[in-house]
Amino acid sequence: MFATKKTLEKLLQIYQKEIRRQISMTVSVTNSDAMAPRLDQTVTKPQPNEETGLPKKLLKLQKYHRFLSSLTPQEMPMATRGLSVSKDQSREFMACFPDIVRDLTETGKHIDVPEATKWLAKLLQYNVPNGKKNRGLATVLAYKMLEKPENLTPENIRLANIMGWCTEMFHTHHLLLNDIMEGTDMRRGTPCWHRRPDVGLGGINDAILVQTAMYSTLKKYFSTKPYYKNVLETFNEMLLKCSTGQYLEKSMSKTDKPDLSQFTMDKYEAITKYKTSYYTFQMPVTLSLLMTGVNDPETHRQAKAILLEMGEFFQIQDDFLDCFGDPAVIGKNGTDIQDGKCTWLAVVALQRATPAQKQIMEESYGSDKPEDVARIKDLYEELQLPHTYSVYEEATYDLLRTQIQQVTRGLPHDLFFKILDNIFRRTTNVSVSQSKKEKETFQDMLPYVLDSVVKSQKLSEVPDVSNWIKKILDYNLSGGKKTRGLITVFSYEMLESPENITEESLRQARIMGWCVEMLQAYLIILDDIMDGSTTRRGVPCWYRMPDVGLGAINDSILIYTSIFHTLKTNFSGKPQYNDILDLFNETLLFTSIGQHLDYTMAHRSKNDYSLFTIDRYNAIVKFKTAYYTCKLPCCLGLLLANRTDKEMHAVAENILLDLGNYFQIQDDYIDCFGDESITGKAGTDIQEGKCTWLAVQALQRCNVEQRALFEECYGSKEPKDVEQIKRLYEQLHLPEVYREYERTIYNSIMQRTRALPGSFGASFTALVTRLLNMLYKRNQ
């Protein structure tokens, strides 16, 4: 018996340190006899006629150790074969998925864009249910083991299964973007989604659709639950963790050849912790704890400490399998060596390698030539890394079992043992000066917002990520008119009762405005990638920067998670907090639907203009622009003013969506006829063949000869063709048609707004009047 718990913890620390020293996790060691395989750990080589059922690769590796659980087929670990659950549990889990898809696509949602809902169903069915479903099944398993028996009702179990599918959708969102950024070809034995001929870079938007489908599912089933707020915050926090890990990994492969000097164990552990451990192990258990009403911080801390250790081993196991696993079993060909990734094998190899062996790493690591890949694998075997891994595997298993037994906050040890054994598989008008002043005041709030993000405790241990996030935000939030952020602020000012407006409430409104601007920046980054744009606001698009590229996809997620960090920091104590989160999530869903409609239109078969109708155009505008440009900032103003009446919001929405339609039609006109020195960007709608208001109007008015000209030149990047289209628009008098439309829509919106009754009607009319005066006859 140990005298005290403190003594035991000290001994455990010494034990863990010794394990790590032996496997070269923190110090370099030479190839000593201590690392050579022991005679009692060898396996007799089978005779040629023996029926072993083992692949040749395994037979070759068995010389290193009597038991390599990661490679023994009958003992396959979770990283390969998935979480071990009963057939009934697996069937119960799978039975929930069709219901979730139906809820998202067949319950009267988005009836004006049926093709978008069909696409969402196809997207979900192809990508979500076909993996090992470790995270989803772990969520259900944890809930059943943590919940009181009397609360394990069929309805609660069904909710746990739905929560599990939300974790799977989260995982799918991560994989879709990761596969695009890494140029992966296969996933789960089938072509990656973005490799399908009808997808391509549209897969970026599809990933957002999956993410928003997740949030929609959470809202439908859990919005009335007391733990809903914490669940949302968990998902948002995990998104930040994952994208932080993605950035750390991506930052190490910015050049053609990997910089092996960065391949340290500290760097590797940081990548593993953020990219894998948090959302693969901590998230399912955290969600289950929340569902069972456990909010005690110490309980969550103890669970997190163990689960992150498990997550680190899980990734090390995955690295090992990528190199030495059988593709027929793991469902993919390992590419870590070819991709030049910072893996556990590479780090340990560099720690042990002689100068000559390091030269082999420098020459061959990161090459996709088969002979170079073979050289690296031979080097790993020469350095006896399979044996090192097997020693590490057993030592880690024993250490984790000891740590589990030290859990003291009422957490069932069996839960952690179950996960452990699965891993190891052992068992109004505003003057110009006033507008300028308001914009300056709004701009003055940005440093605070940036500091609250980049100096947060969560990023303190990864300062290079913190610095990178600041660079992303500085670049992508600078410039621009700040229209949406400013609308948020003065929406609050004009909808709040005068006696409630204070410096602090205005400060919070400005912070909320910057959250809207961050959403705009997030959407713009992805839109520029998908559209192939070159400049934005007079400077190169973010992804065009030499040190960014397609890593901008992950950078956009870092912006997105910054939104929710800012919201949590400043608004989590407000009664409207859940409504604010729901509004952001709903807006992203609608915007990504619009983005999908716009993208598919731009990538249709050339000269197919059958969908260039005003109804189709209005659908694209409604979803892609109107929701986040007009409805979001104004409804946030309503919520900040504590106006939560749903009928009031519905009335506001109808008018605001028409206002958003007007805004987009203006944008289309400016893209074609605007002055680039004023707008800050070169118009590209004609070159990209977009379904714009001008194009729709032209097709409605042109004769046979003009239509032939339109079909020949529209969508061409040739300057002469672009000029032909612009001249056609002028021949059809579209500038005059636009000006008449502008007058008509202005009068219509004003008339409807003025008809609204009561104090709300008066304040809302003042708000809409101010918005219209901002937009009317703008030129940028």
The CATH topology of domain 249-405 is Farnesyl Diphosphate Synthase (1.10.600)
pLDDT value of position 162: 98
**Of 95-109, 124-138, 375-389, 696-710, the least confident:** 95-109
- Compute the distance between CA of residue 627 and CA of residue 621 in angstroms, rounded to an integer: 9
pLDDT value of position 5: 47
pLDDT value of position 59: 47
pLDDT value of position 48: 40
Of 498, 748, 495, nearest in space to 645 by CA: 495
pLDDT at 777 over 70: no
Q: How far is CA 491 from the centre of its chain?
A: 30
> Which of the given ranges, 329-338, 669-678, 698-707, has the highest pLDDT on average?
698-707
**Of 432-436, 590-594, 720-724, the least confident:** 432-436
pLDDT value of position 43: 35
Q: How far is CA 542 from the centre of its chain?
A: 18
pLDDT at 100 over 50: yes
Phi/psi-derived region of residue 643, left when phi > 0, alpha when psi is between -120 and 50, beta in every other case = beta
Domain 437-572 sits in which CATH superfamily? Farnesyl Diphosphate Synthase (1.10.600.10)
Q: What is the CA radius of gyration of the chain?
A: 29
DSSP 87-151: HHHHHHHHHHHHHHHHHHHSSSTTTT-HHHHHHHHHHHHHHSTTS--HHHHHHHHHHHHHS-GGG
DSSP 653-718: HHHHHHHHHHHHHHHHHHHHHS-HHHHSS---HHHHT---HHHHHHHHH--HHHHHHHHHHTT---
pLDDT value of position 83: 67
What does the DSSP 8-state code read for residue 611? T
pLDDT at 114 over 50: yes
pLDDT at 695 over 90: yes
Would you say how long the chain is, in residues? Answer: 780
Residue 699 near residue 708, CB atoms below 8 Å? no
Q: What is the mean pLDDT of the chain?
A: 85
What does the DSSP 8-state code read for residue 365? T
- Assign 50 a pLDDT band (cuts: 50, 70, 90): very low
- Compute the distance between CA of residue 691 and CA of residue 693 in angstroms, rounded to an integer: 7
pLDDT at 729 over 70: yes
Q: Decide the pairing of beta strands 539-540 and 535-536.
A: antiparallel
What does the DSSP 8-state code read for residue 751? H
pLDDT at 421 over 90: no
Tens of pLDDT, residues 437-455: 778 899 999 999 999 999 9
Cβ partners under 8 Å of residue 322, min gap 6? 330, 334, 335, 336, 343
- What is the rounded average pLDDT of the residues 600-617? 85
DSSP 500-514: G--HHHHHHHHHHHH
- Block residue for tokens 């915007």: 591
- Assign 29 a pLDDT band (cuts: 50, 70, 90): very low
Q: How far is CA 103 from the centre of its chain?
A: 22
Greater confidence (338 vs 777) lies with 338
- Assign 66 a pLDDT band (cuts: 50, 70, 90): very low
- What is the rounded average pLDDT of the residues 89-95? 92
Q: Is the dihedral of CA 355, 359, 365, 371 positive or negative?
A: negative
CB atoms under 10 Å from CB of 280, counted, come to: 24
Does the domain made of 83-224 have the CATH classification 3.10.150.10?
Answer: no
Residue 321 near residue 386, CB atoms below 8 Å? no
Q: Is the dihedral of CA 348, 354, 355, 361 positive or negative?
A: negative
Tokens standing for 504? 């602090």
Cβ partners under 8 Å of residue 508, min gap 6? 570, 571, 640
**Of 50-64, 115-129, 257-271, the least confident:** 50-64
Cβ partners under 8 Å of residue 235, min gap 6? 166, 170, 214, 215, 218, 283
Q: pLDDT > 90: what percent of the chain? A: 59
pLDDT value of position 426: 42
pLDDT at 602 over 70: yes
Cβ partners under 8 Å of residue 76, min gap 6? 70, 329, 425
Q: Hey, is 539 helix, strand or coil? A: strand
Of 586, 526, 659, nearest in space to 204 by CA: 526
User: Which CA distances in Å does 144 have to 137, 172, 208, 285, 412?
Assistant: 11, 24, 31, 11, 11
Q: Hey, is 535 helix, strand or coil? A: strand
- What CATH class is the domain 576-779? mainly alpha
pLDDT value of position 42: 36
**Of 43-52, 224-233, 309-318, 443-452, the least confident:** 43-52
Tens of pLDDT, residues 631-663: 999 999 999 999 998 989 999 999 999 999 998
DSSP 211-278: HHHHHHHHHHHHTTSTTHHHHHHHHHHHHHHHHHHHHHHHGGGSSSS--GGG--HHHHHHHHIIIIII
Q: Tell me if the pTM is above 0.85.
A: no
- What is the rounded average pLDDT of the residues 538-566? 95
- Compute the distance between CA of residue 774 and CA of residue 487 in angstroms, rounded to an integer: 10
- Assign 757 a pLDDT band (cuts: 50, 70, 90): confident
Tokens standing for 240? 């930040």
- Compute the distance between CA of residue 337 and CA of residue 392 in angstroms, rounded to an integer: 21
Q: How far is CA 96 from the centre of its chain?
A: 24
Range(s) of the chain covered by CATH 1.10.600.10: 83-224, 249-405, 437-572, 576-779
- Compute the distance between CA of residue 595 and CA of residue 601 in angstroms, rounded to an integer: 10
**Of 56-65, 111-120, 653-662, the least confident:** 56-65
pLDDT value of position 326: 72
Q: How far apart are the first and last CA of the chain?
A: 76
> Which of the given ranges, 67-71, 285-289, 406-410, 605-609, has the highest pLDDT on average?
285-289
- Compute the distance between CA of residue 185 and CA of residue 183 in angstroms, rounded to an integer: 6
pLDDT value of position 393: 84
pLDDT value of position 242: 95
pLDDT at 674 over 90: no
